[in-house]
Amino acid sequence: MNMLRLSMKRVEIGQQLAFVIRCALAAVVAYKVAELLGLSMPVWASISALVVSQERWHETRASLHERIQGTLLGVGISLAVNFLAMPFHVPPLMQLLVAVAFCATIARADRGLRVCMWTCPLVLMSGKLGGEVVLTTGLYRSIEIVIGCLVAALIHWMVERLLAAREMSRT
């Protein structure tokens, strides 16, 4: 009985360590990839990698899909609102209000898409700091976030395969 408990404890510690390593690697690799591509805010790649990283592969995969879908939806709505508002010189905060309202309506129906709401301020407001056009900001944030998501998923998948191969070699 004690051997079984000890074996289970070892597996649990291994899983915890794998999660820590995956998160740390994903944050750094995602940042570096976005930076190498010359994106203006590579920190969003790093943040997205951490948001997507979950304990189990199926959870990471679900998080990946939700994050990418929600981000693209939020970017699309923000760009559409901006495009329609430009001829009327609607202030950015009013555009933000409208875009978030649309996204919140969608998020109420599908909780997995809630990320679309916080994508709106990223697209409509974060580019102002660097003088980016909203279309450029939307494109950059989308790429940064998708890079982070894909890097996290790839690292999770690779670590899972390595651990499975290690486990197979032990038996």
For residue range 22-79, list pLDDT tens digits in order.
999 999 999 999 999 999 999 999 999 999 999 999 999 999 999 999 999 999 999 9
**pTM of the prediction?**
0.89
Higher pLDDT, 83 or 168: 83
Whole-angstrom distance, CA of residue 42 vs CA of residue 18: 24
Whether 3 has a pLDDT exceeding 70, the answer reads no
**93-100 average pLDDT score:** 98
Count of domains in the chain?
1
Contacts of 167 by beta carbon, 8 Å cutoff, 6+ apart: none
pLDDT 10s digits, 43-54: 999 999 999 999
State which residues form the domain around 17: 2-170
Task: Give the per-residue pLDDT at 7.
Answer: 60
Q: Are 121 and 98 in contact (CB under 8 A)?
A: no
Q: Quote the tokens at residue 121.
A: 């301020």
Rounded to the nearest integer, the mean pLDDT of the chain is 92
Q: What is the pLDDT of residue 163?
A: 84
Name the token pair of 128: 């102002």
